[in-house]
Amino acid sequence: MAVYLFKGADSALVGDAVALQVRASVGDEDRSMVLDEFDGEYVLAAAVEAAKTPPFIGDKRVVLARNLSQHKGDLDGLIAFIETAPEDVDLLLEWGGGAVTPRLVTAVKKAGGIVVDASPPTGAKDRREWWNEHIAAHDVNLDAKAASLVSEWLGEDVARWPRLADALKAAYGPTRITSELLEPFLGVRGDVKPWDLTDAIDSGDAHRAIVVVRRMMEAGERHPLQILAQLHSHVTRLARLDGKNVSRREEAEEVLGLKGYPAEKALKAYRTLGSEGVRNAYELLAAADSDVRGGTGLDDSLVMEIFIARLARLSRVTGVSRRS
């Protein structure tokens, strides 16, 4: 018998690890005849009973029990079975959420089983090895530069790799994939600098501002309310210059409590917007905040894109008007 206990904080990575082991355990056998899978609402005793049943066709039976954490108060029968299980069964146990019951871990290890932690490692060297293993497991033929690019690009967002791997296999098959072939599939990154968005808005570049806010929400996984809070702070900084008759960077530094380039940028942005522009920006912020909190039936992402485009347009139109 082989016993595998899968755990990890990221359900997508755990599911991926389970799927790989199912394929390995089933091998060339007919999956429908070999595999018994228990998921959703089920009685744990039924999974144990299935594991006790001799194989109908083939040399072994594979039993997969998912979300065991829902049965953490009823593990005695399973633990007793692990200690005496026959040799012709592969038992795959997916824990689910929360900490794994120590008694189950002990039983699996005592039976010579393997506890698979699907969480990615934190060390740089271990992470490279982890990525190499996952790339190999998905049969994607990346060259060294492309493999390094995957690791660097996805970073902590490792749950995106299985879908990316499937897309690459569908597009290229066994072809050796270079970084040039890989790049169109990578999508967007999440490591956006805090000032990228405000710089795009202040310059009136609506297209770039929308691209940046998409990166922040999708790859960066930042909630719209977090982004609104950042922009509120930015507009409030400009409002502090209102009515102060500030004309030089040194004066802006004193009013804002900032030094150097940040104060100069704030002064330039205020000169573009002016008093009326700052008031309009606050109105746009208030409307977007209300919409994100359920004030409209639109999707949050669309609300943010519309808001960002209007804010950038405000900078562009107001700036042109004030210069003319």
How is residue 289 written in tokens?
């905040």
Please give the pLDDT value at position 220. Answer: 52
What is the DSSP code (8-state) at residue 176? Answer: P
Please give the pLDDT value at position 301. Answer: 87
Please give the pLDDT value at position 322. Answer: 53
Strand partners, 89: 61
How is residue 199 written in tokens?
């710089």
Q: CA-based Rg of the chain, rounded to a whole angstrom?
A: 28
CB 96 within 8 A of CB 69: yes
Please give the pLDDT value at position 4. Answer: 95
* List of E strands, 48-105: 61-65, 89-94
Domain locations in the chain as residue ranges: 2-117, 124-185, 194-323
Please give the pLDDT value at position 156. Answer: 55
Question: In the chain, which stretches have pLDDT less than 50?
Answer: 190-191, 320, 323-324
Amino acid letter, residue 12: A
Please give the pLDDT value at position 94. Answer: 94
CB 235 within 8 A of CB 278: yes
Please give the pLDDT value at position 32. Answer: 83
d(CA 144, CA 130): 14
Strand partners, 295: none
Q: Do domains 2-117 and 194-323 have the same CATH topology?
A: no
Q: Give the right CATH number for 194-323 from 3.40.50.450, 3.40.50.720, 3.30.70.100, 1.20.272.10.
A: 1.20.272.10
Domain 2-117 belongs to what architecture? 3-Layer(aba) Sandwich (3.40)
How is residue 23 written in tokens?
């394929």
Please give the pLDDT value at position 43. Answer: 94
How is residue 17 written in tokens?
């690890």
CB 119 within 8 A of CB 10: yes
